[in-house]
Amino acid sequence: MDEPLRVVVLAVAWLVGWWLCGRVRTLPAVPCREPAPRVSVVVPARDEERALPTLLAGLDRQSVPPAEVLVVDDGSRDATAAVASAHGARVVSAAPLPEGWTGKAWALWQGVQEAGHDVVVLLDADVEPGPDLLASIAAAHDANDGMVSVQPYHRMHRWWERASAFFNLVAVMGVGVGSPRRPRRRAAVAAFGPVLACRRALFLEHGDAPRVRSAVVEDVELARSIATAGEELDVYAGGGVVAFRMYEQPAHLVEGWTKNFASGARAVPLVRLLLIVGWITACLVSGAWLLGGSLAAVVVYTAYVGQCFVQLRQIGSFGVVTAVLYPVLAVVFVLVFIASLLLVVRGEVRWKGRRIPLRSR
C-alpha cells in the first residue's frame, strides 16, 4: 500500500475510533433525596477478604444508605465471611454449586432470593463506591424501571495493570457507552457486571434462565435475557461515582480477561464488532509504520496517541505513557484474545480455582 492511501485508510479508522468511543456516557451523580429509596445490596464473594473492607466501608458512607447488605460467601477459602460479618453485613453461605450453574450466577441467585426489598443493587467485591453511588443508581433506575449497569472507573496502582487498557476500551466500545448516539434502551445487548441494579422480581424472572446460570459472562447473558423480554436496559461508565481496581496480580489479569473476552464478544452486534476489529488493526498498523520513521507515520502515530489518551482518561487512570505505548497494548490485547478463543475451542475456562465447561453452553 503506498503512503497516501495508507494515510487515508488510517485516517478513516481514526475517525471510526472517535465514533466508537469519543465521549463516554457516565452515571450522573445525584445527591440524597427524599424519600430515600430502600435498596438491598447483594455482593457475591469468593476469596475476597482483601477487597471487602473497602466496599463495605464505602457502603457505610452512602448519602442514601442501603436498607441491607448481603454478602454471599461463595465457598471462600479465606476469611471472607468473617470480614463481611465484622463490617456489619449479613452473610449468606452459598449452598453447594449445582450442576449447570457457574459460581457467581449461583451466588447472585441465592443473594437476591434472600433480599428483602423491591430494588436490588448487585456489586462485585472489588467495587469502590463513592458516597452518592446508591442515590445515583436509584435515580437512574427510577427513570428506567428495567436494569441499570455501570462499568466503574478503573483505578490502577502498578504499571502492569495498565496492560488491560485495550480490554477496558473495547468493552466500552462493544456496549456502545462511548458512541455519540445513545443506544435504544431495549436494543442494548450487554451489561457490565460490577454494578447492576434492577427490580428483585425482574432478576428472579431471568436470573435462573439456563443461558444465564451456565454463562461464563453471566452479566452479558442476563442483559440479553432481560432485553429480549422487552425490558429497558441502560449502561453507563462510572465517572466519579464508582471505581474499582480489577486485578492486583498479573496472573489474575490474564486469567480474568481470557475467561471473559471471547465469550463476551459474541454479544456485540456484527457491524460494531467489525468496526472495533478495524480500529484495533489500524492501531497495530500505525505503530508498525512508525518504525519506518517517515513524517507521515509520525503524524499518524501522534494522532492515535492523542485519541487513545482522550479515550482512556474517561474510563481509568491510565495516563499519557499508556497512550504513547498503545501499539504494545494492542498486541497484548490480540494475544490474550487469541488465548481466550483457544479456551473456547478447548471447551473450558478456569476462574478462582474452578473449572467452567463451555461446550455444553
Is residue 130 domain-shared with residue 17, that is, in the same domain? no
For the chain, give the mean pLDDT: 87
In a domain, 88, yes or no: yes
Among the candidates 247, 275, 305, a domain finishes at 247
Question: For residue range 280-300, what is the model confidence (pLDDT) as tens digits?
Answer: 999 999 999 998 889 999 999
In a domain, 254, yes or no: no
Is residue 72 domain-shared with residue 182, that is, in the same domain? yes
In a domain, 194, yes or no: yes
In a domain, 116, yes or no: yes
Q: How high is the pLDDT of residue 108?
A: 95
| Residue numbers of the domain that contains 311 | 3-22+267-357
Q: Phi and psi at residue 138, in whole multiples of 5°?
A: -65, -40
Is residue 194 domain-shared with residue 105, that is, in the same domain? yes
Is residue 129 domain-shared with residue 226, that is, in the same domain? yes
Instruction: Kindly report the CATH number assigned to the domain that includes residue 226.
Output: 3.90.550.10
Is residue 272 domain-shared with residue 198, that is, in the same domain? no
* Contact between residue 134 and residue 121 where contact means Cβ atoms under 8 Å apart: yes
In a domain, 306, yes or no: yes
Question: For residue range 178-235, what is the model confidence (pLDDT) as tens digits?
Answer: 887 655 444 446 788 899 999 999 999 999 988 888 877 788 889 888 888 888 889 9
Is residue 110 domain-shared with residue 238, that is, in the same domain? yes
In a domain, 31, yes or no: no
Query: Which residue spans within the chain are E strands per DSSP?
Result: 39-45, 68-73, 90-93, 119-123, 127-129, 147-151, 153-154, 195-199, 233-237, 242-244, 348-351, 354-357
Is residue 100 domain-shared with residue 205, that is, in the same domain? yes
Q: How high is the pLDDT of residue 137?
A: 93
How many domains does the chain divide into? 2
Is residue 118 domain-shared with residue 233, that is, in the same domain? yes
Q: Roughly how many angstroms between the first and final C-alpha of the chain, as a whole number?
A: 43
Taking the complete model, does pTM exceed 0.85, yes or no? yes
Is residue 115 domain-shared with residue 160, that is, in the same domain? yes
**CA-CA distance, 287 to 329, in Å (whole number)?**
11
Question: For residue range 99-136, what is the model confidence (pLDDT) as tens digits?
Answer: 888 889 999 999 999 999 999 999 999 999 999 999 99
Question: For residue range 61-79, what is the model confidence (pLDDT) as tens digits?
Answer: 999 899 999 999 998 998 9
Q: State whether the Cα torsion 316-55-30-147 is positive or negative.
A: positive
In a domain, 275, yes or no: yes
